[in-house]
Structure 1
Amino acid sequence: MKHFIAMLTLLLLPATNTWAAPRNVILLDKDSIAVKDSLEKSKKKPEKKEDEYEKLLQKGGSVQQGLFGVRHIEKNWYFEIPESALGKLFLAVTRFVSVPQDFSMLRGEEVNNNTIYFERYDDKTLFLRSWAHSQQADPNSNIARLVKQATIDPIVYQFDIIGKDKETGRLLIDVTKLFKGDNKIAGFTASDRTQVKLGGLQDDRTFIDTIKAYPINIEVSTLRTYAVSEGRAMASRDGYMTLSLNTSIVQLPEVPMQPRLADERVGYFSNKLVTFSDRETSKHDAIVSRYRLVPKDKKAYAKGKLVEPERQIVYYIDPETPKVWVPYLIQGINDWNKAFEAAGFKNAIVGKEVPEGSDISPDDARYSFLRYLPSEKENAYGPRIVDPRSGEIIESHICWYHNVMNLLTKWYMTQCGPLDKRAQTMNFEKDLMGKLIRFVSSHEVGHTLGLRHNMIASNSTPVERLRDKDWVEKHGHTASIMDYARFNYVAQPEDNIGEAGLFPRINDYDKWAIKWGYQYRPEFKDEFDEKKTLRSEVTKMLENNKRLRYKSDEGRGQDPRSQTEDLGDNAMISSEYGIKNLKRVMLNIEAWTAQPDDQTDDLSTIYRSVFAQFQRYVNHVQRYINGQYSDNWPSERRNDIVPKGLQKQAVSWFGRNVFTVPAWLYPDKIVDKLGIDTNDEVTDRANTALSYLLSAATLYNCMANSYTASEPYPLDDYLKDVFQNVWKPMSTTDKRGNNFRRRVEQNYVDFIGAAINPVKDDKKNNVQYGRSDATLYALKHLEMIDNFCREQLKNVATDDINALHYNDLLLRTRKIRDTYSKPRSE
C-alpha cells in the first residue's frame, strides 16, 4: 500500500521536476497529506511578494504621480520609485514651517539639507544613501578606480521592497517611518536635538500631514512632538514641544553645470575639491557656488551684447511680508542687475510677489524666497543650497527678521543723525526706512548669489574722499556692498553730502566679482583649463585697481585694512571724524529720543548705540598695533608689518580718546537718568587697552617685528610713546580725572610687572617672551616710571593723596625688580 501511494505521488509531480525534488519524494513516502501541503506551498512561494503587493493596492487609498508615485493607504505613505531614478541624485531640504513661541529657530529656517540617492541592494532591499564626495579623478585614469574603491557613501536608511508594478517597473516602498522618525533627511539628528534643547521624539504625537508629488520634487509636511530637555524654559506645562516641518526632495540636474574653480582673490563661497591623476600629485581646489546662467542668444553674447539668460534668477517675497516694505525688498534684489550686466546679462535677476492663486510655496525647495520672520532678533542672513557636484545654486532662502528695523534705526541715527534731519527721530519716515531696508536686502541677496563678505573694500577709499561731496556721491563710500561699511560716519554736516554718499551700494568690487563668477565661457574644455585663463585675467585686473581687492579673513585677521564696521584707509583719522559726529549725537540725544511720561527706553537704546560705536573705533585703532598686512595682490610686499608712523598715530589716538576721560560720552544729565557708573566704565576701557598694549605677547611681537618690518617700530620707542600718552601730571581742579589717572597708572605698572614676571601657569608667555630681550626693555622701562614718580613728588605735599600714589608706585616697581632678580625654579 505504501509503495502504491509513493508511485501515485510521483505520477502527480510535474514532468520537468520529477527528479529535481528528492526531498518531496521522501516526505510523500511518509505522509501523503504532508506532501500535498508542501507542494501547494512551494507553488505559492514565488507569488507571495506579488500577492502582498496586490493585496496592499486593493485597499485603495489615494495615488499621485510626479517625481515618484506617492500612495496613501490607510495610515501609511508609500513611494513608487522608477528604476530609472536609481542612482540619480536628489536634494533633500528640511525647514521649519511653524515653531513654539520662544523656540531658538524660526519659521522658514533650515533644519538640514542632504544630497541623496536610492540604490537597489538586492531583490528585497533598497538603500537610501547620502552622497558625499570631495575627491575626483579623470574617469579614464587608473587612479580613478582607486578613488572610487576607496570611498563609500553612508547608508542613511534601508527600505524593504514591497513589490514591483508589472507595467511601469516601479518599486514600492513604505516611507512612513522615514518621515515620522528622526534622521538626517527629514528630522533632527541627536546632536541637532541637543543644540535646540529637544528631548526624545514622541511617536504617538507625530504625524505625516501631507505628501505632495510634483514633476521634479516631492513635498512632505510633518507634525512632530518632542519632550523638552533639561535647561529649556518650558514651552508647555506638559513638558512637550510640537513643531511643523517641511521636507523637499528635489531632483538635481542630470547633467551637472561645469564647475568654476575658486580663486582666493575673488570672494565666493565654495566646497573643497581634491583631484587625482596618474601622472601628477593631487591638486587642491574648491568649487564656487553660483547660479547657472546661460545666454539665450549665444552669438550675440559672444559679440559683447547684453543678453537675457535662458533661465532668470527669481526671488519671491514671502506673502506674509508687511506690504509696506515689499517694494523696497524687491528693489534690493533687482539692484543686482547692474552687476550682472558686467557679466554680459540683462534682466538676469528679479524679485517678485507670489501671484494670487499660485501654488508657489516658500516651503518648496524649487523656489528661492525672501522669508519674513516674526522675531525680535535684529538680523538677516542669506544662505544657499548647492549641487555639490558643480556648485550650482539650486535655491536660496533669505531669512529676514522683523526687528532689522531697530538695528537700522540705531545705526543710522548714531552714524548719520547729524548729517540727515530725517534720522533725528526714533520713528523714521517710510521712505527713509524703506531705503535702509533696500540696502540690507541687497547685501543678503549678494550672499545668496555666492558672494562672501569683503571687509577690505572700504579701505580702498582715502579718508578725505569720504568728505568730498562730488567724489563720494559718484563713487560711494565703500567699493562693495558685501563689506560691513554701514554708513558714511566720516562725513561732516558742513560737507552737505546726500544719500548717494551716505548709503552703501552695489559697487565696483561687486560688479567685478559677479563678472568673474557668472561670465559665460564655453570655450574651455574643462574647469581646469578655464582656471588658468581666469587667474591670469584676475592678476591683470588687480595690478592697478585697489577697489577690486578682496580678503577672506572676514575682518578677523591681523590686517588693520580688513575690519568690520570701519571706513577709509586710516582708522585713526576716520575715527576722529566719527567721534565728532558722536559728540553731536550726544548733544541732541534727549531731543531725538524724547518720550512722554519720563520714559527713557529710547534714550537708553541710542546711548548704548553711541557707546558701542565709540568702542568700535577703539577696536579699529588697536588693530594697527603690531598689525600685519597679508597681501595676495600683484606688486605688493606680502606679510609686511604696519609701518611705524601709523602705529605711532594709533598710540597717540589712545592717548587722546582712551587714556583721557571722554567726558563728552558722560554728560551728568544722561548719567543720572540712566544710572551709568562712569568711573568704572572709563577705567575698564583704559585698562582693557593697556592690557593689550603692554602684554608680554605685544612687547615680544613689537621687538620681533622690528627686525623684519620695512619701517620698523623699535620696542624702546614704542614703550616711550605709550608712556607719554598715559602718564600726565595731576590736575589741580579735576578730581574725577585724577582718580581715573591714578587707577590707570597703577594698572600700567601691574601690566609691566606681569610682562617681566609672567605667572607660572602662563606657559606660552613664559617660553615665548621670557627668553627674549623684550624682558630687558621692560625692566629698563621701569626707570622711566620711577623718574616720573620722583619728579611729580617734588610738586605735591607729602600728605597729599597723589604723594601716596607715587610712593606706592615706587614700591611696586621695586617689588617687580626684586621678584625678577630672585632665582626662578623650573
Structure 2
Amino acid sequence: MKKEIIALSMLTALHASAQQKDSSKPAEKETTTAAPSKDKMQAYDKVITPSTTTKSGMFFVHFVDNKYYFEIPDSLMNRDILAVTRYVATPEGGQMYGGEKANEQTIYFEKGIQGKIFLRVNVVRSRAKDENQAIYKAIQNTTVRPIAAAFDIKTINPANGNVVIDVTDFFKKENAVVTIAQDIKTEKKLGGLADDRSFITSIKTFPINIEIRSLKTYTSSNPGLAASAASGVVSLELNTSLVLLPKVPMRKRLFDERVGYFANNFVLFDDNSQQTNTYGIIQRYRLEPKEEDIEKYKRGELVEPKKQIVYYIDPATPAKWRPYLMAGVNDWQKAFEQAGFKNAIVAKAWPSEDTTMSMEDARFSVIRYFASEIPNAYGPRISDPRSGEIIESHVGWYHNVMKLVHDWYMVQVGPNDARARKMEFDDELMGELIRFVSSHEIGHTLGLRHNMGASSQTPVEKLRDKKWVEANGHTVSIMDYARFNYVAQPEDKIGKDGLYPRIGAYDKWAIQWGYKNIFNTNDEFEDKKVLNKWIVDSLNANPRLWFGGEGKNGDPRSQTEDLGDNSVKASDYGLLNLQRVMSNLLEWTKEEGDLYDNLKRMYKATTGQYSRYLYHVLTNINGTYITFKSQEQNGAVYTPVPKERMQEAIDYVGRNLMNPPLWLYPENITNKLRVFPFEEIGNVQNNVLNTLLSPGMLYNVMQINLQDPKAYTVTEYLLDVKKAAWQKFTGDKVLDAYRRNIQKMYLERIAMIYKPVSIDAGKMLTNAERSDARIYVQEHLLALKRQIQASPAANALNQLHNAAMIKEIDRILKSDSK
C-alpha cells in the first residue's frame, strides 16, 4: 500500500510540473478554506482499512464496505477533466446503442469551504485574448462555475496530504454530470431513477483516466420499448470516462469560413478592442513531430508524429467487413502526408485479449457496429473545449447502412456496373461501398465538415471522360454528398475508379490547413495571418479547393446528392440512366418468393432520385452563388445565378415535369404496386408552380433586374415559365388531361399574385405582394388571353376548357374592381 502511495506521488508530481495557465477557467486563487472539523473526519486507517481494495492511477480508487472512495492529490485539484458518459448496453427498440454518447461535461475538483471538496462544471463561453490583460481579471471576477456536487472530506492521507471523498452516491444516483443528458431522457421518455435497482458495477483507474461502469434503472412511459411496456421501467448499462485533460492545452487554431472544420465558438474580450468578437477554435487532433524530427519537418521531409491517431474496429463487426472499414481509415494517410506526416493515422483490430482496455474508455477511438435497422453511419468527436484538441471518437456504424448504399448504387450507376443489378451485392462490391462510407465518417472524426460544394468544381463533361474521371475522381472531396457518378453513360465504359467517391484534392488541402504545424509565431492570432495567406494562395492557384459549406445557404453549387458544375446538364444525363433503371427494375429486383417488396423499395428509390434531380435544377432559379472571401481576394462574395442558367432550369422543368414523366409509371410496374400517376405527378407539378409563380419569386427577379439591367426581367421570366407550363394540346387523351390540369393550376397561382389573399383578409401586404409584380401579371394575363383565343382547340373538351380559361382570366382581372 505504501509503495503505491509513493508511486502515485511521483506521478502527480509530474502532472504538477510548471506549465502555462489556461485562461478558460477562473484563475487558481490562494483561498483559505475551512479545514474539516475533527469530529467529522476519521483517521485514514479507519476509513482505508486493511480490507480495502485499492487501485492506483489518476486518483487512488478505494473500495471497502460497498463504498467507493477517490483519493485526490493536491496536484490534481483545479485540473480540467473531461467526463464522457456512454451507453454500454441498452434496451431493445430504444434506438440507443452501446458506444454512443449520453453526456459530456468538463469538470474539475477544488477545495471548497466548510471542509468540502467541490466538483464544478467548467462552462466556458467568454475568453480574454491574453491573461495578462486587465479584462482577463474582469472575466474572472464576474464568472462563477456551477457546483455540481459537494463532497465531505472523509479523511486525509497523512503520508501525502491527499484528501479522500466518498463518491458512491454520486455515481450510483442521478446527477446532471455523469448520467444521461436531460434532453435524451425527455426524448426517450425516461422518468425517475429507481435507487434500489441502480448500482455501480466497477470503477477502474488508469494513469490519465478513470472508468466508472454503472447499471441504472429508470421508470419509463416509452411505448416503443418492450421492457417499458412489460415492466414500466428500463435498465441501462453506462460507462463514464473521467479523462485528465492536458495541463497545457494544445495551440488553438482559429476557424475560417473558407475551410470546413467543426469549431467551438467563444466570445473574445480584448483590452485593445472596442467591441467583443465571436471566434471559433477548430476541432483537430494534436499532431506534432517528435523533437528530434522538427528540423526535418521544417525542411519538408515526411516524419512520424509523436502520437499516432488510432481507430480500433469493434470485434462485434462481421469479420468480412473489417478490412474495408480499416481501409477507409488508412486511406487518410495520404492526406496527412500533405501536412508533413507519414503513418499519422491507422486502423487496428480491437485487442480482445487485453483486459485492461475497454471500448467505452474515452482514450480509445472505436468504430462501433450497431445491430440496427437504421440506415446510417455517423462520425462524432470528443474534444477539449479549451483548445479544440480531439481526444477520441466513437464512429457509429449501423448494420442497415448497407441497405442505403445498395439502393444508391443500383439507382445511380446500375446501367454502368453490372454488379449493381441485383438485390444482394457480392461481398467485394459491398465492401468497396463500405470503404467509401468509412472514409467519409472518419473525415468527420478528424474535424472536417461536409463540403457540399466540392462536386460543383468538376465540369459535367469531365464526368464522362473515362481517362480524366478515373484519374481524378468525380468530386474533389469525400466530404461531399456526391455518392456515385450518375452522369457517366454506359457507352463511356467508365470503371469503378470513376464511379466511387474517394479522398480528393480538397480533403488533402483541408488536412494540410488544419494539421500542418506552424513555427515562429507567438499565438493563434499570429497563426491566423499565416493561415489566411495559405487560403488566398491556394485558392488563387487552384480554385477547385473552394469550400462550399453544408448546403444550407441556397447556393445551387452547394447541394446534397448533386454532381458537376451544371446541375441542369448533369440531371439530364442522370435521367437517361434513370430511364434505363426503370426499364430493368423488374428484372433487377427479382428474387424467388419475393412478393414485390424489392420492387416497391427500389421503385421508391428510383422516383426519389428523379425528385433529387428536379430539386437540383430548381435551386438555380433565383439562386445566389456565395463565395466567402477575405479582402485580399478579388471578386464578389454574392453573385446572382446568371439569366442563362435560370432559363436552362425552367426549360428542364418544362421538358421533364410539365411534360409529364409517364416513363416513371410503366404499366408492368404500376399493375404490381398501388400508385396513381395523375395524382402523384399533379402534386409535384402544383408544388413547382407554387414556387415558380409566387410573389416572392417575382419580387426577387425584379430586384435583381433593378441592380443589373442584363438580368432576367419579370416579363421575360413569366414568358419562359408560361412556355414551360402552358403547353399545346396534342390530341392525346392522357397528355391533354395533364395539360388542362396544369393550366388550371397556373391561373390559380397567377390569381394569388394579382390579388393577394391579404387584401380580403384585411392584412397589411408584404413588399412582394405590394410590388410591381401585379402590374406585370396583369399584362401577362392579357397576353395569355389573346394566345388562347388565337389557338382554337381540336376537340370539344379542350374547347370547353379554353372557354373556361378565358372566363377565369376575365374574372381575375375584374376581381379587384368589385
TM-score by length of 1: 0.91
Cα deviation digits, residues 135-171 of structure 1 (max 9, x gap) = 2221221111111112221222222222211112221
Q: Structure 2 CA distance, aligned partners of 1:349 and 1:100?
A: 34
Q: Structure 1 CA distance, aligned partners of 2:226 and 2:330?
A: 43
Q: How does 1:354-373 map to 2 (within 5 A)?
A: 354-358=350-354, 359-373=356-370
Aligned-residue Cα RMSD (Å) equals 1.8
Match of 1:228 among 220, 230, 243: 220
Cα deviation digits, residues 552-600 of structure 1 (max 9, x gap) = 3x11222111100000000110000000000111111111110223521
Count of equivalent residues: 773
Query: Which range moves more in the overlay, 637-646 or 592-601?
Result: 592-601
Equivalent residue number for residue 718 of structure 2: 719
Equivalent residue number for residue 600 of structure 2: 604
Aligned: 1:730 with 2:729 = yes
Equivalent residue number for residue 132 of structure 2: 140
Structure 2, gaps ≥5 residues long: 1-35
Match of 1:804 among 780, 800, 805: 800
Q: Structure 1 CA distance, aligned partners of 2:539 and 2:573?
A: 30
Pair 77,495 (structure 1): closer, same or farther in 2 beyond 3 Å: same
**2:380 partner amino acid:** P
Deviation at 1:233, TM superposition (A): 5.2
Q: Structure 1 CA distance, aligned partners of 2:170 and 2:815?
A: 68
Cα deviation digits, residues 12-38 of structure 1 (max 9, x gap) = xxxxxxxxxxxxxxxxxxxxxxxxxxx
Q: Structure 1 CA distance, aligned partners of 2:225 and 2:296?
A: 62
Pair 795,643 (structure 1): closer, same or farther in 2 beyond 3 Å: same
Q: Structure 2 CA distance, aligned partners of 1:232 and 1:303?
A: 60
Equivalent residue number for residue 321 of structure 1: 317
Equivalent residue number for residue 263 of structure 2: 270
Equivalent residue number for residue 752 of structure 2: 754
Q: Structure 2 CA distance, aligned partners of 1:59 and 1:751?
A: 86
Aligned: 1:788 with 2:787 = yes
Equivalent residue number for residue 11 of structure 2: none
Structure 1, gaps ≥5 residues long: 1-44
Q: Secondary structure at the match of 2:112?
A: strand
Q: Structure 1 CA distance, aligned partners of 2:554 and 2:106?
A: 37
Cα deviation digits, residues 704-743 of structure 1 (max 9, x gap) = 11122484111110000000111122222x2222221121
Q: How does 1:3-152 map to 2 (within 5 A)?
A: 47-51=38-42, 54-58=45-49, 60-137=51-128, 138-152=130-144
Equivalent residue number for residue 644 of structure 2: 645
Deviation at 1:363, TM superposition (A): 0.4
Deviation at 1:389, TM superposition (A): 1.1
Pair 57,355 (structure 1): closer, same or farther in 2 beyond 3 Å: closer
Equivalent residue number for residue 441 of structure 1: 438
Q: Structure 1 CA distance, aligned partners of 2:167 and 2:775?
A: 73
Q: Secondary structure at the match of 1:115?
A: strand
Greater CA radius of gyration, 1 or 2? Answer: 1
Equivalent residue number for residue 174 of structure 2: 182
Query: Which range moves more in the overlay, 424-433 or 339-348?
Result: 424-433
Equivalent residue number for residue 485 of structure 1: 482
Equivalent residue number for residue 240 of structure 2: 247
**1:85 partner amino acid:** L
Deviation at 1:356, TM superposition (A): 4.1
Conserved? CA contact 1:267–1:451, under 8 Å: yes
Q: How does 1:489-638 map to 2 (within 5 A)?
A: 489-552=486-549, 554-597=550-593, 599-633=595-629, 634-638=633-637
Equivalent residue number for residue 769 of structure 2: 770
Q: How does 1:185-196 map to 2 (within 5 A)?
A: 185-196=177-188
Match of 2:817 among 797, 806, 821: 821
Conserved? CA contact 1:641–1:709, under 8 Å: no
Deviation at 1:59, TM superposition (A): 8.0
Q: Structure 1 CA distance, aligned partners of 2:350 and 2:494?
A: 38
Q: Structure 2 CA distance, aligned partners of 1:89 and 1:61?
A: 28
Cα deviation digits, residues 348-379 of structure 1 (max 9, x gap) = 00000022411322100010111111111111
Conserved? CA contact 1:104–1:196, under 8 Å: no
Cα deviation digits, residues 72-131 of structure 1 (max 9, x gap) = 222322211112111000010011111111103222111011111011112521111111
Conserved? CA contact 1:457–1:549, under 8 Å: yes
Deviation at 1:636, TM superposition (A): 2.6
Match of 1:390 among 369, 381, 387: 387
Q: Secondary structure at the match of 1:543?
A: helix
Match of 2:407 among 398, 407, 410: 410
Equivalent residue number for residue 40 of structure 1: none
Pair 58,427 (structure 1): closer, same or farther in 2 beyond 3 Å: same
Deviation at 1:670, TM superposition (A): 0.2
Aligned: 1:341 with 2:340 = no
Q: Structure 2 CA distance, aligned partners of 1:192 and 1:473?
A: 45
Pair 233,813 (structure 1): closer, same or farther in 2 beyond 3 Å: farther
Aligned: 1:166 with 2:158 = yes
Q: Secondary structure at the match of 1:412?
A: helix
Q: Structure 1 CA distance, aligned partners of 2:315 and 2:379?
A: 18
Q: Secondary structure at the match of 1:722?
A: helix
Q: Structure 2 CA distance, aligned partners of 1:548 and 1:124?
A: 58
Equivalent residue number for residue 28 of structure 1: none
Equivalent residue number for residue 16 of structure 2: none
Cα deviation digits, residues 162-195 of structure 1 (max 9, x gap) = 2211112221212122212232322134433112
Q: Structure 1 CA distance, aligned partners of 2:37 and 2:634?
A: 77
Conserved? CA contact 1:108–1:373, under 8 Å: no
Conserved? CA contact 1:197–1:231, under 8 Å: no
Conserved? CA contact 1:114–1:184, under 8 Å: no
Deviation at 1:682, TM superposition (A): 0.8
Conserved? CA contact 2:93–2:224, under 8 Å: no
Deviation at 1:801, TM superposition (A): 2.4
Q: Structure 2 CA distance, aligned partners of 1:786 and 1:592?
A: 49
TM-score by length of 2: 0.92
Equivalent residue number for residue 209 of structure 1: 201
**1:73 partner amino acid:** V
Cα deviation digits, residues 447-468 of structure 1 (max 9, x gap) = 0000010011111100000000
Q: Structure 2 CA distance, aligned partners of 1:353 and 1:233?
A: 33
Pair 763,266 (structure 1): closer, same or farther in 2 beyond 3 Å: farther
Conserved? CA contact 1:81–1:172, under 8 Å: yes
Q: Secondary structure at the match of 2:434?
A: helix
Query: Which range moves more in the overlay, 56-65 or 624-633?
Result: 56-65
Q: Secondary structure at the match of 1:345?
A: coil
Conserved? CA contact 1:334–1:351, under 8 Å: yes
Q: Structure 1 CA distance, aligned partners of 2:377 and 2:764?
A: 41
Q: Secondary structure at the match of 2:63?
A: strand
Conserved? CA contact 2:315–2:352, under 8 Å: no
Cα deviation digits, residues 247-283 of structure 1 (max 9, x gap) = 1000001111111111211111111133322222334
Conserved? CA contact 1:658–1:686, under 8 Å: yes
Pair 764,607 (structure 1): closer, same or farther in 2 beyond 3 Å: farther
Match of 1:426 among 398, 415, 423: 423
Q: Percent identity over the alignment? A: 46
